[in-house]
Amino acid sequence: MNMNLIDTLNRPLRDLRISVTDRCNFRCVYCMPKEIFGPDYQYLQRDEVLTFEEITRLARIFVNHGVRKVRLTGGEPLVRKDLHLLVRMLAHGIPSLDLTLTTNGALLARQALALKEAGLQRVTVSLDSLDDEVFKAMNDVDFPVEKVLDGMDAAAAVGLEPIKVNMVVKRGMNESSVLPMARYFREKGYILRFIEYMDVGHTNGWRMDDVVSAKEIVSLIHAEMPLEPVDPNYTGEVAERWRYKDGSGEVGVVASVTQAFCSTCNRARLSAEGKLYTCLFAVKGHDFKSLMRNGATDEEISQTVARIWNKRTDRYSELRSENTIDLPKVEMSHIGG
């Protein structure tokens, strides 16, 4: 059944983010801080995580409802064994799909070719500083910048382009890295996007004081390398685009705290254990794994997707206030960015 869905605020379903694992080889302070995600932390067991076949089945149903883009996330998606096999199943089974992946880049150099050959189109790499000390303080596992840059170069070499780089900016931690990152990636020709530090989940100790606003970031870069605004690539694009006036590329800013973009949000998120979340700040998910494992038909699953999206009212970032601070939210490491 082909049916494009619209929610209560007239937003279509276009973008599905699929978390393939809740595990990660980094312990970034704004996502999986060590004091919570330590050696005793209980991750999902293997049989609790969706299989590649289950993921592909759900993706096909979502595509029938208007999804055009699937982004594989985590945790860190490249720690999931044989991920290229899932990429092949999605790319070959659903040829119309725009298939991308977000990674911390640690394992990208050794997997880039297999991912490209399997049908992956592009990658986005998270990197919060070019300064080794700052980066190691943020990833908290002593992982060097150079190996992430090697991963990006390997991805570019096999044609996983354009390479996008995501930098979460947290005051007091890495705002001094904004300009060096802008200079370096402008030279490389990779698209750098700055993301305001967000109050996702409960473990990162978020405070508004820690947010470096998109406006502040743009002003900082503009003073040295003049920028001009660019129209979005498509409706619902979350990054506000800015082009260097000398024509040497562009940067993006994701102002999810200071300039909420809920009104055009067309994303759904599927967690590693098969729960569907209709907002990054959702309190609860809808269990699709149980539906599948209890024998639901594609038609029944499809009707469930439609029912959930048609009732969707989420606009957390527009409502962000004292009233939302203590809501029990799902962790970023569970549903990807």
pLDDT recorded at residue 61: 98
Domain range annotation of the chain: 15-335
What's the angle, vertex CA 32, arms to CA 34 and CA 322, rounded to 5? 115
pLDDT recorded at residue 68: 96
Pairing of strands 227-230, 191-196: unpaired
Q: Which of 57-61, 226-230, 283-287 has the lowest mean pLDDT?
A: 283-287
Pairing of strands 286-287, 275-277: antiparallel
pLDDT recorded at residue 266: 94
Q: Which of 95-104, 212-221, 316-325 has the lowest mean pLDDT?
A: 316-325
User: Is residue 148 pLDDT above 90, yes or no?
Assistant: yes
pLDDT recorded at residue 199: 57
pLDDT level of residue 208 (50, 70, 90 thresholds):
confident
Q: Which of 17-31, 136-150, 233-247 has the lowest mean pLDDT?
A: 233-247
pLDDT level of residue 109 (50, 70, 90 thresholds):
very high
Q: At what angle do helices 178-188 and 214-224 cross, to 10 degrees?
A: 60
Judge whether 108 and 127 are in contact, CB under 8 Å.
no
What is the average pLDDT across 96-109? Answer: 98
Q: How many angstroms separate the CA atoms of 282 and 30, rounded?
A: 18
pLDDT recorded at residue 237: 76
Q: How many angstroms separate the CA atoms of 165 and 193, rounded?
A: 6
Count of beta carbons in the 10 Å neighbourhood of residue 326: 8
The pLDDT tens digits of the residues spanning 166-176 come to 999 888 888 99
Please give the DSSP secondary-structure letter assigned to residue 148: H
Reduce the DSSP state of residue 141 to 3 states and report it: coil
Residue 97: what are its φ and ψ, rounded to 5°? Answer: -75, 140
What is the average pLDDT across 144-160? Answer: 98
User: Is residue 329 pLDDT above 60, yes or no?
Assistant: no
pLDDT recorded at residue 15: 96
Q: How many angstroms separate the CA atoms of 217 and 182, rounded?
A: 10
For the entire predicted model, the pTM comes to 0.91
Q: Which fold has domain 15-335?
A: TIM Barrel (3.20.20)
The pLDDT tens digits of the residues spanning 269-319 come to 999 999 999 988 787 899 999 999 999 999 999 999 999 999 999 887 777
User: Is residue 200 pLDDT above 60, yes or no?
Assistant: no
Q: Indicate the residue type of 1.
A: M
pLDDT recorded at residue 256: 74
Judge whether 214 and 187 are in contact, CB under 8 Å.
no
User: Is residue 149 pLDDT above 50, yes or no?
Assistant: yes
Percent of the chain scoring above 70 in pLDDT: 91
pLDDT recorded at residue 323: 47
pLDDT recorded at residue 3: 83
What is the average pLDDT across 106-126? Answer: 98
User: Is residue 321 pLDDT above 70, yes or no?
Assistant: no
Judge whether 177 and 128 are in contact, CB under 8 Å.
yes
Q: How many angstroms separate the CA atoms of 251 and 12, rounded?
A: 27
pLDDT level of residue 219 (50, 70, 90 thresholds):
very high
pLDDT level of residue 177 (50, 70, 90 thresholds):
very high
pLDDT level of residue 322 (50, 70, 90 thresholds):
very low
